[in-house]
Structures are given as C-alpha cells and as structure tokens.
Amino acid sequence: MPKCNARDDWFFKDDMQGYKVSDWGRKTDCSSEIFFSIYICTVDVKKGFQSLTQYASTKKHKQNAHIKLNIKQLTLTTNTTTTIENNSWIEDTLVEKKHDGIVEVFQTMFPNAIPKGFSMSRSKLTYLITDALGPYFREELIKDIANEYFSIIYDETTNSGGNKELQVLIRYYSTSKCKIITQHLQTMFIGKATADILSEKIVSAVENANLSLTKLLMLGSDGPNVNKVTRLINDQILHCRSKNLINIGTCSIHTIHNAFLKGIDKFGENAEQLIILIYYYFKGWPTRWEEFETILDKLKLPIRRFIKHVPSRWLTLHDSANRVLENWSAVEYYFLKFIPQHKSSVLPTNSYKKITEFLLIITIKCEMIFIQSSAKIFIKYTGTMQKSEPLVHVMYTELHSLLCTLVGRICRTEYIPKSFFNTKVDDLLTVEKMVAVKDIAVNNLIQEEFKEKKMHLRCLEPSERLKSRSCNSILKLSNNLPFDVDDDILLDEWKLLQLDKDEKESDLNRIDIYWKQFFEKKNSTNSLKYPNVTKIVKSCLSLVHGSADVERNFSISGKMLTDERACMNERTLNALLDTKDSLNHYQNKPQLVLITK
C-alpha cells in the first residue's frame, strides 16, 4: 500500500465528531505525522485520512475534545472566508498553528496590525523577554526610582535546581504611580549563604541598578540570624554617609511564628504530632483511605482528606487541626474500633501504635482545639501584615492588639497595661491579676468537651459587658443564632471591646444607640474593629421581646381603616402604613423627603 503524507485539505474536513481537523490537528516537521493538541501526541497518517478519523473516534479523544474545544472555553477565532484554493493562505495558517494559535490570537486582538508571515516560537518569545522586555522594564524601574530613598528586602532559599537562590527586592515610593511599590530588583544563584557573601551580593545588586547606597533606608529580612549582614552593609554605608541604616526590627511575622512554636512546645506538641501521623498514615495508602472514606460516609461526615502540616510553616497547623477535628468521630472509630476488629495485621506497626497512644490521652481533643484556637490569634496578625501596602504605621497598634488579645485570655481586664514597653511578664502573670480558672472564657468546642451549657442575653447590658462572665455569654448567644461566627475570633473581639470606653454622649436609654458607638469603630487598617460582635449584637437586639409593636400597629391601622372607609383595599392600606412608618424616619416632616425624578 502506498504511504500517504498529510494533505492541507484534510485540516478543513469534518472529523465526524462535530469538529474540524484544524481544531485539534497540526502539521509537524515529519510529513507523515500530525500533532494532536487534544492529548499532546503525534499520529502516523501513512494510511491516509482514515487514520485521523479512527483516532478522533476514540473515547479519550471525545472526552478531551468536549472539554478543550467546548465553546465555553472562549476560544478566539477569526472570521476568514478564504477558500481552500488559496494555497498560500493555507500554508501560512498551518505554519502558524505550529505555535499553539498565538498568532491567530494576535490577529484577532489587533486586526490588520500583524504582518503576513509573522511567527512566534518558544525560543523567539524567550529572546524577546530576555533581550527586550526584561531590560526595558528594568530601565523603567531605575528611572522611576531616580532620586528616591529605598529599602531592600532579601531572602535566600534552595531552589528546585539545588542551587542557593538569593532574591533581592526593592521597596520605594513611586512618583509616577503615587504609591509605595515593592518590586523585584535582582535574583542571584550563590554557592553558600554566608553573611559575607550575602552582603556582597546585595550591594552588587544595588550597584548594578546604578543606585546609590546613600539612599538605602533599611534591610528587610526574615529573622535576627542575619544581623551580621546588616552590620556589614551598614559599615559600608557609614563610609559614604553619617547615619546608620534604620532598624525597626526584622520581620515581625517570623518573630510571632517563633513565639507560637515556643507555646506549642509547652502545650500542644502531642496534638501537632498526631496531626502529622494521621496525614502520613493515609498518604500513599489508597486502600486505607477507602476504608476511612466508608466510615466518613457511615457517620454522615463530609469526605475531606487530611491536610499536610509542615512544622516549619506554622500557618498550616490551623487548617490541619481543623480538618482532624472535623473528622474526629471517624478518626476515633477507625483507629480504636475498626482496625482492632478488622485489620489485626496493622496493630504491630509503629505508626498505628503512636496514633493510638496519642488518641488515648484523655485531653488530646482539648489540646487539638486549643492549638487550633491559638493559631487564629496569630493568623489575624500575620494576615494583616502580609499585605504589600505600607503598614509600618500600624505595626505598633497591631502588635499591641495581639498582646492584649493574648493577655486578655487569662488576665483580668483592669490589669491589662496600656503599653507593654515596661511590662514584665512575671509582674503581669500573678494570682491577683489573672482570671480564676472557672471564669476563663473558652470557645464552644472546649465548653462542650466539659459539658458546660449556659445562655445569657444580659451581656448586652452596658454594665454587664465588662464582667468576665459576659465572655461565655456572648459565645452562647452566637451559637444559638442561625449563622456561623468563629468562636475564637468573636471572643477576641469581645475582650478588646471590654477595653474600650463608652462615649459620654451615648444614649443609655436606648440600647441600640449605645451599641452603635462600637458598630462604627474602626481599627488602624480602617476596617471595622468589631465586625463579629456587631453581627451578633444586631441580631440579638432584633429578637422579639413582646407583642407591643404589633398591637401599636393595629391601633394605627384602625385610625386609617374606619367605618367610613371600610371598602379600602389591601394595596391602599399597605401604602398608607408604609408611608406612615417611613415618615417616622423624617421626623414626620414631609418636606424633608427627597423628591426624585
């Protein structure tokens, strides 16, 4: 049988699946092969067009074509009416299709602006970025900095290639953009990350950008272990100017991170280890997960896999602990009942022994809840401070709020200092200054563990909100409302609210007017200070306390729907009542109502 080569007219034929061959097929350098973009492979067409239709009729091709060629993928196309006889156009089109349709995209975006014969390949795009776009944007960056003062932010890590990679970023005020900009300055591969090498590379990055060291404000780094780098560069700075680098400390997020890890070492280490053990017990064992999935389904729990916790990245601990708690009843059943009854071969393994050892600790679930609850305090701070916008002006306020939150969980409100500069921890954590154990407010999950159930609305009373018992009351109110509010965040907001003073002009005769002062308060980042408390209090004040309101409305309706007007219809009565109520908002003065077109 004679061998066939791919013909140009094939690409305009129907593939018998509702698509043209050109939608998914392209020529290759080999004349007897066609590239299938649907599942990235080449097909031999020596047997003719039938080879294409056979491949196009496979189940795999149909499924991928439905996904990738669906109109919902918003594929850009051109409205061309050129006929097959125009062989030169066909050839150009087929050559262009070798570059993943980028030329057609450009032609659609910029009609009549793309020259005939224009092509774009991976190597050409790399060349354009390396030799044209990159240098252009770097030059624009250097122009933008001009005579501005700037800070340098740096960090190093081992990349996927096994090299030490140093990233140097620059932070400055951009006059052209009228805001603070943090932008990449230079990346370098280094053999070792000693202080001498780091300082040398950072200085060279500044000099390579034709910037002056005299304009350097500070170095931003992740922790105090790199203080020598700052000293070395500062020594160079002092040779060209009289003032040292500004020192407002290293990354506060890392400092907070280390503090959290210290706390976990004291209480929470067992729960952390259990989280890691459970994750790796199922990782790479599909049969184990299938067994556990069956138990989840039996207990009517959502099918959600465990989340990996990396000890060096503590932010993962919160979500990992939360997932274990979500599956807690299934975890206990699987390891303490199912395996002993059905999987005796697993019992001698070290991983199983360690997991069951932790699960049998009577306080392990409370410990799990505690570390999840504690992580939220720190996540709130790190979530704020990870933004790229300038936040140095709120660092003190945010750190003070964090410390107040931490201390407020165990200390009496009146002993929480307004400033922590001269406060010694030992002086603060004394018996008379700390809350009695029975009065310590904890989130609802822990309360349920200890079977404590109380409910109070009196915490909304101005004189009551400052009392320690109001903390548990607001949590109970929250858990009885038809929406979810995080217990720990709500509790922290309430503790901070207890430190706030009442405004003198507050109308204590109306509780909603009294609480309005707290609804509108904002924090240092200009966001609402007590969003969750606001939601709870507004909802609680909306609860019905009697039927006087509806009786009063009957009286108003009776004055409108009199014997003389007994034929009034519902539409008219509703309109009258609506108008009456609405005029109350305008002090019953119609002239205050805005008349619109």
For residue 72, the model assigns a pLDDT of 47
| pLDDT value for 512 | 80
Q: How far is CA 28 from CA 16, 20, 96, 304, 558, in A?
A: 22, 18, 11, 44, 87
The pLDDT value recorded for residue 463 is 80
Q: What percent of the chain has pLDDT over 90?
A: 15
Q: Taking 80 as the threshold, does the pLDDT of residue 82 lie above it? A: no
pLDDT single digits (tens) 47-64: 777 777 777 777 777 777
Q: What is the pTM assigned to this prediction? A: 0.54
**Rounded distance, CA 147 to CA 143, Å?**
9
Q: Which pLDDT score, from 0 to 100, does residue 580 have?
A: 66
Within 334-390, residue ranges assigned H as helices are 339-342, 350-359, 364-385
Q: What pLDDT score was predicted for residue 339?
A: 93
* 119/139 Cα distance (integer angstroms): 27
pLDDT at 3 over 80: no
pLDDT at 546: 43
- Which residue type sits at 30? C
pLDDT top residue among 80 and 189: 189
Task: Identify the weakest region by mean pLDDT among 106-110, 145-149, 460-464, 486-490.
Answer: 106-110
Strand-pair partners of 152? 170, 219
CA distance 170 to 220: 10
Q: Report which of residues 24 and 493 the model is more confident about.
A: 493
Residue with the bigger pLDDT between 7 and 270: it is 270
Q: Of 235, 230, 229, whose CA–CA distance to 218 is shortest?
A: 230
Q: What is the per-residue pLDDT across 370-413, written as a single tens digit (0 to 9) for each?
A: 888 888 888 888 777 777 777 777 777 788 888 888 888 888 88
More confident residue, 249 or 374: 374
Residue 343 burial (C-beta neighbours within 10 Å; 0-12, 13-18, 19+): middle
Q: pLDDT category, 89, cuts 50, 70, 90? A: very low
Backbone angles phi, psi at 91, to 5 degrees: -65, -45
99, 100, 101, 105: CA torsion to nearest 10: -100
Please count the residues of the chain.
Answer: 597
Higher pLDDT, 144 or 75: 144
Instruction: Specify the pLDDT at position 101.
Output: 61
Mean per-residue pLDDT for 404-426? 80
pLDDT number for residue 494: 92
pLDDT score recorded for residue 299: 92
pLDDT tens per residue, range 181-217: 788 888 878 888 888 899 999 999 899 889 989 888 8
Strand extents, DSSP E, 251-315? none
The closest alpha carbon to 156, from 253, 221, 82, belongs to: 221
pLDDT of amino acid 264: 82
Note the pLDDT of residue 335.
94
Torsion angle in degrees (nearest 10) through CA of 565, 571, 573, 575: -130
SS3 call for 1: coil
Among 374, 391, 416, CA closest to 500: 416
Q: At what angle do helices 227-240 and 195-208 cross, to 10 degrees?
A: 50
Average pLDDT of the residues in 283-295: 91
Tell me what the pLDDT averaged over the chain comes to: 77
For residues 154 and 175, the model is more confident at: 154
Q: What percent of the chain has pLDDT over 70?
A: 76
| Burial group, residue 291, by CB count within 10 angstroms (0-12, 13-18, 19+) | middle
Evaluate if residue 105 carries a pLDDT over 80.
no
Higher model confidence: residue 591 or residue 531? 531
pLDDT score recorded for residue 147: 79
Give the pLDDT of residue 585. Answer: 60
With cut-offs at 50, 70 and 90, classify the pLDDT of residue 133: confident
Burial of 434 by CB count in 10 Å (0-12 exposed, 13-18 middle, 19+ buried)?
middle
Helix, strand, or coil here: 474? helix
Amino acid at 323: R
User: Which of 282-286, 352-356, 437-441, 541-545 has the lowest average pLDDT?
Assistant: 541-545
* Four-point Cα dihedral 97, 100, 102, 105, nearest 10: 80
